[in-house]
Amino acid sequence: MEYAKTKDLFWTMHVLGHKNIKNTQIYMHLRDFSSEEYHSAVAKTNDEARNLIESGFHFVCDMDGAKLFSKRK
């Protein structure tokens, strides 16, 4: 989970206490990053949707006239 948050291989190696970078690379490949934590937001207007996209949110779906967005924490 640390690598998904920071995208820093050497920091992840330090946090996990690995002495060999190959062990950290194995961790990165074995770890499932698809079930990480997300921020969510709702946009009811096009301007709100544009602001969310500009701040890094990704469109998820339309629901009850509103647009749902998510972004990794």
* pLDDT, tens digit, 9 for 90 and up, residues 14-50: 988 999 988 888 877 766 556 667 899 999 999 999 9
Label residue 7 by pLDDT band (50, 70, 90): confident
Token pair belonging to 45? 């207007």
Cα separation, 57 vs 24, whole angstroms: 29
pLDDT of 32: 59
- DSSP secondary structure string for all residues of 5-71: HH--HHHHHHHHT-SSHHHHHHHHHHS-GGG--EEEEEESSHHHHHHHHHTT-EEEEEETTEEEEEE
Domain boundaries, the chain: 2-34, 37-72
The distance in angstroms from the start CA to the end CA of the chain is 11
Alpha-carbon distance 19 to 50, whole Å? 44
Q: Is the pTM of this model over 0.75?
A: no
